[in-house]
Structure 1
């Protein structure tokens, strides 16, 4: 889709006796700050050397190559999209010819335009604010965890970026003559633009910029900032943004204004820009910057960023893989640990869901940007296993949202409920974590919010539109879903995808039943479990699909199981009755009752339809609804080898080490976390159940360090005997020397620690 104008620069970390060093790619000219360093070979032992942040920056993966820390609030990101004239879900698309500036807060992999706050442009020569005069062709890109570098060819400027959790730092090597820095608050990635400059001096600018209206949800928040230069400017001035921007949605109390700083250097010079951000106040942004950066050089901040990533990524260590698989795996793990993002400031303060009250997180980090319809499937189960401290803080954050608003989140963004997507997706996240031992949060309050969302039909329930019919009929009828699809909105009660939404409610209800059971609420458990099986009313024996149904029980006609157009106002939004998919991609979406679905269909038909979904390419790895399909063969004895085949095929075919290497929107790390699980050889197909489906790993050995503050074991290892490319089938499996009969692995077996030994074969055999 996009012409490549440069080769992707592979990540290279460098070593000093202190731990980490900085460096460029072979054959490229390094800056003076880097000239004394040498490129580390990829036998260094640092797992972060394998990360390539350019993966996913094309093919609508919507990732970015900028500098960010694990779960960081701030990120310094190149923007090669013209936000003045274009709307795009990514700040950076590989192959675009110009860089327009560098933003300081970015979402990763999402499918709607938002974020990109506080874009800063740098130019040389006479000052001009016109877009065509502030863009630059670019080259010599380098991206590493916590670091980004690019040369702005048009202006002769070498730009480098790094970050702390709540602040960014940029270092510029500029030529002699006039250099200009431009802050334009009318430019960001989303549809809500504008802001206010509250303070400006010769080396500092402060204020706020609007963020919000995610996926047309209509809400906004202020991103406060405090930015300071390492040198005083020769001149500076506020300006009003060009007239053509004024059709944008303006933040209340904000303006389409900006400020420019100009310098006149007698010789080539290095200048730094440091930016702190906050969702609470300018004062907090200033404090975030001070606490996280004061007294630290660019090199020290970059080194700390590299160390932070190495620490989190090295929780999982792999051996025996190809260089390509190492890069795929650790880049996927990297992308899985970017969101959710830190929301509380260094003093613990954060803005509550009402947009007015400032609260304080005591002893934990308050997180934001919960893309739950996506991330409940893979990201949160992964963090639960590998980073239980962060997942526990995320559970506490969701409990905070309940205390603030009375509801669990659906798609929470910067303290706003965007209500994007369908179902009740926080429920499986909470229950899955709770049943895996993460219980240090206000579970009773959260359970109450679950029951409220699952039962309250009046007044309006934004969490579960269509709930009245769902509770009465067991499904949401296609001919009475709250309104016409063309009028759909996230808060107006119209249901997007009657079948899909019913199935999502079923999964949530099954999870509520499991939590109720754990809490001793027997009657609730029985009622919600019964409700979770109502998908059976949508199974049409004649067509063999879960099919849209009307109020009177008749089937929706006409019915085309391959249709994915126009269920709501967005093209390709899903066929009538489905969300971002077809009837084929929802046929097996009953993870909580797979044996029941197999019983309804019959084993032979179940396998035949599953085979057909892969053989005819109805399976869609680019989106979430059917990503568990490759693992479903494990439910039929003797067919488990097909899971091993299809998982291997998906890992090899759909994921690569190129910028096109993620098959679709990464959706806050969801597809990346799928890849992490698939390459480790186990997968949480039923979120809420503490077990995993087994497949064949992509490595000879995998070691997972366990956090003993949460889990009893020290580490869990997976060792693959006869690890060869020709040996693609599991012949035998043991955990701590004991045979494992089923092709499932319990979470308990992992977190107790020990070793799972897998024996492979080139033949399809089961023992």
Structure 2
């Protein structure tokens, strides 16, 4: 992505409520700055990890809402919608925000002008609706499009339900097609029926990212207008008057990314007079059809479309207004609040209004009173930035997410997934990230979950060798525990080390020193992969042999990255890594250079490019393994370089338009990175709550946690002309440290930045300013 998104932002940002320039704005209702289309178009190169777009969706949803009613284009995309396409397949009720693989998109609904012709199962392309973006609009909780055929579709939502409003061209009947087998990866079985003005059904589907896992989802819908004709289709046959149909279908996508006409599939159609709009009120459930009906009745009942839309917008206003920033150019505000919006989409509420939810064991369970069960966790991604932001802003939600993860694992015999979709294990990606998520959540003070039981379960999962419940939590765990590393795998080793560090941190906070020391030792297995002859972390065989020659741009032994990018992923002991790297430069050290000269030189080389992809030895900030690396300069005494890198990244990789993300958002991971980066803070160490400072993008920010604590960030001179921290006060006391203790994130406080145009190289440079590292405990 180029700097075109923010061209012209050269005036300094202002103090709140002081109108020095007309270009700065003060936020009153943050929801007005959200562009739900951000991330739906390609914003960067496709490096083979899900494309160069955010893979978000623009449809109607409330914060953490189960109902995510959104348009799906013919061209495939992880979020269902590809901005570059002008063809709509339908409006499905479930989505995933930002994944590199397709999933969900259950129960697509498609309104058309006219009557049904050939079966949609054999003539899918014949029903595709084209549109122009000029006739499309989206805002928090609302989506609208008018297709070239003249049909207008509007969508809004509550937590577990939604309302669609269809307006058809006058003089021609309007028809609504509901493809019960239309889930993006196909269905094993499905059924739908019509009873008067009510339609209900279910689908058994799954297959996220090629996984074998399956889930069952239900809907219950009512229409507010008389149905003048109805029927169904099954495979190639249209059946007028037949109002119950079942069937199965393969994936509806082809290798080219278009919809498939494979001749299989089932659905129903409903015909209406076109003299007035038709409202379709729909409830979702992952428990039962009755649950979907109760969800609809409890959350929407007989409310009309506009009332539900207003309620949805208010829910977003309250959530987004937890952070009020001011002194920003409108484009920067749009980028910021669009990112914050995407942070609050997922995970989402998975329990019904009566508290029932379907667990990973396929059985119905009941949530604790006053709490929610959440679903769909992109573990490999979110443990790096989004987990911490949720735990900071909404500790009540974060604690319920942690409890949900624990309950999911425990019912399977303490088996922890890496990437869960709905109530299923997918095993997508590598590592064991949920342990870091649980530990970070607790560290930020979101501790209203069964942490002691979770710790016992985490230990059991981390120590297991082999398969349980059809899933292997840690491939290579026998060798990892015996040798300290996974042969041939740097990324697996580093991920397991971070997971073990998370277990150690939670154990320490809960007073379990035996497990704390055991897992802290295990978290330093990375040391076995350091090759002093090359100065790199490298793949190593079970016999202890490093391969030669070593190319840091090579990808063997790494997941979605290379040796140069994974080398830095020792966030639990950065000082330990730097000390080893200094040992490979003994001659230079003896001539008077400092021990971190090697580190600084290599970091500088690394950040020569910010989004180089997996085949070049530079940063890859459009993907997760590089996300924390800009802050490593703090351990080398040069945090001013971090400030430089972050300032570049905010410009080059993010923007307020559809192409405003340069890589998959991965359920809010990249968006949360931008929110942190714009506030001038970042949680670098998974499992901990220290916040590293680098200089905010706004003159002023007020942050309110849902638990009541408040934070003020003031930087009157912040702006493009003053990206460097000159001085910092924490709660009125001066500090030269480029990081804050854990207590700040939990308790609230005030930061006052003095910003300037040139680096203040003494800030964070003293040995006493060095951030914490967690080395191997003594014998």
TM class by shorter chain equals 0.7 to 0.9
Task: Give 1:185 deviation, angstroms.
Answer: 2.0
Of residues 98-107 and 742-751 in structure 1, the stretch that sits farther from structure 2 once superposed is: 742-751
Question: CA distance change for structure 1 residues 93 and 520 in 2, over 3 Å: closer, same or farther?
Answer: same
**Partner residue in 2 for 1:568:** none
Length-normalised TM-score, structure 1: 0.86
- 1:628 counterpart = 2:637: no
Identify the residue that residue 232 of structure 2 maps to in structure 1. Answer: 238
Partner Cα distance (2:225, 2:553) in 1 = 61
1:546 is matched with which residue?
537
- The question of whether the paired residues in 1 share the 8 Å contact of 2:189 and 2:248 is answered with no
Residue 191 of structure 1: CA displacement? 4.2
Tell me, yes or no, if structure 1 residue 186 matches structure 2 residue 186: no
Q: Name which of 443, 449, 452 aligns with 1:444.
A: 452
Equivalent residue pairs, number: 682
Range that drifts further, 744-753 or 362-371? 744-753
Distance of 2:142 and 2:711 partners within structure 1: 31
Of the three residues 151, 157, 160, the one matched with 1:157 is 151
Q: Which is further off, 403-412 or 535-544?
A: 403-412
- Write the distance in 1 (CA, Å) between the matches of 2:523 and 2:26: 51
1:145 corresponds to: 140
Provide the TM-score with structure 2 as the length reference: 0.85
Shift of 1:558: 5.2
- Which residue matches 2:503? 512
Q: Structure 2: which 5+ runs fail to align?
A: 6-23, 43-52, 238-246, 253-263, 583-595, 613-617, 764-779
Match of 2:647 in 1: 648
Bigger RCO of structures 1 and 2 (CA < 8 A, at least 6 apart): 2
Residue 259 (structure 1) aligned with residue 239 (structure 2)? no
CA contact under 8 A between 1:160 and 1:171: conserved in structure 2?
yes
String of CA shifts for 1:656-676, please: whole Å, max 9, x gaps. Answer: 122111111100010000000
2:450 is the counterpart of 1:470: no
Shift of 1:133: 2.6
1:722 aligns with: 717
User: What is residue 569 of structure 1 aligned with on the other side?
Assistant: none
**TM-aligned CA distance change 1:657 to 1:242, over 3 Å:** farther
| Counterpart for residue 286 of structure 2 | 279
Partner secondary structure for residue 615 of structure 1 = coil
Q: Which residue of 2 aligns with 1:420?
A: 428
| Matches for 1:10-21 after TM superposition, within 5 Å | none
Q: Which runs of 4+ in 1 moved over 6 A?
A: 41-44
Match of 2:415 in 1: 407
**Which range moves more in the overlay, 518-527 or 649-658?**
518-527
Q: Which stretch shifts more, 90-99 or 299-308?
A: 90-99
Quick one: distance in 1 between partners of 2:712 and 2:646? 20
2:64 corresponds to which of 71, 83, 88:
71
Between the aligned partners of 2:444 and 2:367, the Cα distance in structure 1 is: 28
- Report the secondary structure of 1:748's partner residue: helix
Matches within 5 A, 1:29-48: 45-48=28-31
Q: Do the aligned residues in 2 keep the contact of 1:80 with 1:97 (CA within 8 Å)?
A: yes
> 2:249–2:265: 8 Å Cα contact kept in structure 1?
no
Displacement, 1:115? Answer: 0.7
Q: Structure 2: how far apart are the matches of 1:324 and 1:276?
A: 36
Distance 1:181 1:612, change over 3 A: same
User: Which residues of 2 match residues 539-618 of structure 1 at below 5 A?
Assistant: 539-557=530-548, 559-563=550-554, 575-602=555-582, 603-616=596-609, 617=612, 618=618
Counterpart of 1:676 in structure 2 is 675
Distance 1:136 1:384, change over 3 A: same
Matching of residues 276-425 of structure 1 within 5 Å: 276-405=283-412, 406-425=414-433
Per mean C-alpha deviation after superposition, the further-off stretch among 518-527 and 656-665 is: 518-527
Cα gap change, 1:212 to 1:459, in 2 (>3 Å)? closer
Between the aligned partners of 1:505 and 1:724, the Cα distance in structure 2 is 40
RMSD of aligned C-alpha atoms? 2.1
Which residue is 1:37 aligned to?
none
Note the C-alpha offset of 1:194: 4.6
Secondary structure in 2 matching 1:259: strand
Displacement of 1:202: 3.8
Q: Taking structure 1 as reference, are residues 656 and 110 closer, same or farther at Cα in structure 2, changes over 3 Å only?
A: same
**What CA distance in whole angstroms lies between the structure 1 residues aligned with 2:691 and 2:310?**
37
Residues 105 and 459 (structure 1), Cα distance of their counterparts in 2 relative to 1, 3 Å cut: closer
> What is the deviation of 1:132?
2.7
CA contact (8 A) 1:42 1:49 kept: no
Please say if residues 226 and 286 of structure 1, whose CA atoms lie closer than 8 Å, have aligned partners that are also in contact: yes
In 1, distance between residues paired with 2:636 and 2:556? 31
Q: 1:439 to 1:723 in 2, by over 3 A?
A: closer
| Paired residue secondary structure (2:597) | helix
In structure 1, runs of 5+ residues without a counterpart are: 2-6, 8-40, 479-497, 564-574
Tell me, what secondary structure is at the counterpart of 1:63?
coil
